[in-house]
Amino acid sequence: MDNRKKAVALSSVFASFLLTFLKLIVGLLTGSIGIISEAAHSGLDLAAAFITYMAVRISGRPADISHHYGHGKVESFSAFIETLLLVSTSIWIVYEAVQRLLYKSVEVHVTWYAFLVMAVSIVVDFTRSRALEKVAKATNSQALEADALHFKSDILSSAVVILGLIFLIMGVKSADAIAAIGVAVVVLRASYNLGKRTIDVLMDAVPTGLTNQVKEISESVEGVVSIERIRARPIGSSVFVDMVINISRKAPIERVGKITEAIEQKIKKAFDGADVVIHVKPVALEGETLLERVQTIAANHGMNAHDIFVNILHGKKVISFDIETSNALTVEEAHKKVEHIEIAIKNELGPDIVVNTHIEPAKPEALESQEVSSAELASINKKIEKIMVKIKPLKSIHKTSAYRVKNDLFISIHCVFEENFPLEEAHSLSDTIERTIKVNIPAIKHVLVHVEPFHSQNPGKHKKIKKLN
């Protein structure tokens, strides 16, 4: 792309030089202020084309330690210089034309080569404007777009000069000066449009619709709660986007990474060469339960909250829960850490919230364990079956497993209930099962009860319990 931009910019330099030379010679030979003004206009185009070529060469350089956003703005700066040159030329043309209209008379010789050079100018300007415009759109180059605008304005101004020469032939002596003023008006109009756009870019004005487009793209990505802020700045052929997005604070890190990557890819697809920086802000979703909020706050402080219990006492909510901290901490250190969590909960849920915490050391991720012997497992099963038959809603048990961690015995058991049995009652019964097993078999230190529905279509899957009665 850089080579393509350089090639089309350099060809414009040669085309501008040829037109300037031809117009100047013909203007001097005929004495036409219209043609001379066109020569001056083309001379400015030559300077502008050269500036554009140099700007394109510089803007292609990558970002460095002194220019973190690259060198793209040199294209806007060159376009601003071109605007100043065009305005200066237009002022001189108007001044000279007014002088001829009011104070001095200059004989103008209308010749065939005057028409020829202007016709050649129109053809060259048309081909160059098309070539520059095509590359400018493909590379999003403001400098090339400005150059294309120059050549387009030349087409109109050349047409005005030809019209003035025709009127001269018809005997309208002031037509040449009026044509020159027409050229100046065309150039000033083009200068205004170019200057306005250039200043907007230099002032980091956001192109119309860009912010809304970026917002729509970002909000279309699943997982984005809302867009808090978007900042964008066009620099050369690139667009730099800095944005803050809100994502559920419960979303895992891996999910957050995928969301931001998806947004970045979509924006780059919409704006070729875009540089995107995304800041993520975790937020609480509407409908998030109180238990989820407490767990999230604890997790954000690097701790685990469990066995959360909420009750209302004298019109105030009381939140009680166990909080796991590193077992390497002292009582004072652990208390300070948990105190921060209690403050964070009150800040989010309100100062009237009462928070009670039970601090306990975090359990190791994995402990070495040993399976019990088949004979011991069979003995445990018999004892458990005798206990279970007393619990009438329970249909069956299966998959009983037992293992030892150090000297403590751990039991895992699957308990089967009817499919439509209420979950709250099943949970209450599982707590009862745990306590009953521990009371009747003191060697057991931990019981895990897994609740599952009875599959009537496959009753053989479960081992039925014989009722005592």
pLDDT per residue as tens digits for the range 153-193: 777 667 766 776 777 677 776 766 777 777 778 778 877 87
The secondary structure of 450-466 as a DSSP string is EEEE--TT-GGGSEEPP
77: in domain: yes
User: Which residues constitute the domain of residue 451?
Assistant: 370-464
Each residue of 68-90: pLDDT tens digit? 666 666 767 777 877 787 787 77
Q: How far apart are the C-alpha atoms of 355 and 350, rounded to whole Å? A: 11
Is a pLDDT exceeding 80 seen at residue 287?
no
Please report whether residue 256 resides in a domain.
yes
Residue 93: count other Cβ atoms within 10 Å of its Cβ.
Answer: 27
Residue given tokens 């000069």 in the structure block: 161
Distance CA 443, CA 208 (A): 75
The three-point CA angle 321-324-326 to 5° equals 160
Q: Are residues 31 and 118 in the same domain?
A: yes
Judgement on whether residues 241 and 118 belong to the same structural domain of the protein = no
- Both 82 and 105 in a single domain? yes
User: Are 460 and 402 spatial neighbours (Cβ–Cβ below 8 Å)?
Assistant: no
The predicted structure's pLDDT at residue 128: 75
Does 208 reside within a domain?
A: no
The residue among 202, 231, 261 that closes a domain is 202
Of the candidates 177, 202, 227, which is a domain's last residue?
202
Q: Determine, yes or no, domain membership for 209.
A: no
Query: Does any domain span residue 469?
Result: no
Residues 6+ apart with CB under 8 A from 6: 53, 56, 57, 60
Query: Which residues, including other chains, have CB under 8 Å from residue 67's CB and lie 6 or more apart?
Result: none
Which residue do the tokens 């015995």 mark?
409
User: 185-189, 233-237, 416-420, 423-427: which has the minimum mean pLDDT?
Assistant: 233-237
Mean pLDDT calculated for residue range 33-57: 71
Is 178 part of a structural domain of the chain? Answer: yes
SS3 (DSSP) at 203: coil
298-322 pLDDT, tens digit each: 888 888 888 888 888 888 889 999 9
Same domain for 390 and 312, yes or no, is: no
Listed residues 231, 248, 283: the one ending a domain:
283
- Residue 229's pLDDT is 92
Give the C-alpha separation, 328 to 457, whole Å: 52
Q: How many domains does the chain have?
A: 4
411: three-class secondary structure by DSSP: strand
pLDDT band at 248 (very low <50, low <70, confident <90, very high): confident
Q: Which of 135-139, 265-269, 367-371 has the highest mean pLDDT?
A: 265-269
- Per residue in 185-215, pLDDT (tens digit) is 877 887 787 778 777 777 766 777 888 999 9
Nearest Cα to 118, choosing from 76, 72, 78, 155?
Answer: 155
- Supply the CATH number for residue 231's domain: 3.30.70.1350
> What is the sign, positive or negative, of the torsion defined by CA atoms of 139, 140, 143, 144?
positive
Query: Do 167 and 227 belong together in one domain?
Result: no
State whether the Cα torsion 36-37-39-40 is positive or negative: positive
111 vs 368, which has greater pLDDT?
368
Q: Are residues 278 and 294 in the same domain?
A: no
pLDDT at 394 over 60: yes
Residue bearing the bigger pLDDT, 191 or 427: 427
- Angstrom distance (rounded) from CA 141 to CA 151: 16
- Tokens 């099963």 — which residue? 381
Same domain as 154, residue 243: no
Beta strands in 284-339 (DSSP E): 304-313, 316-325
Same domain for 255 and 297? no
Same domain as 400, residue 255: no
The pLDDT value given to residue 140: 67
Give the Cα separation of 10 and 17 in Å (integer): 11
- DSSP string over 218-271: HHTSTTEEEEEEEEEEEETTEEEEEEEEEEETTS-HHHHHHHHHHHHHHHHHHS
Residue 178 CB partners (closer than 8 Å, separation 6+): 97, 101, 164
Of 121 and 437, the one with more pLDDT: 437
305 inside domain: yes
CA 143 to chain centre: 27
Sheet holding 275-283, edge to edge: 224-235, 238-248, 275-283
- Confidence class of residue 218 from pLDDT cuts 50, 70 and 90? very high
Mean pLDDT score of the chain: 79
* 187 lies in the same domain as 272: no
- Write the CATH number for 108: 1.20.1510.10
Mean pLDDT of the region 105-119: 67
Give yes or no: residues 458 and 384 share one domain: yes
pLDDT band at 467 (very low <50, low <70, confident <90, very high): very low
Query: Is residue 65 situated within a structural domain?
Result: yes
Low-confidence winner among 11-20, 270-279, 398-407 (lowest mean pLDDT): 11-20
Residue 328 sits in the same domain as residue 403: no
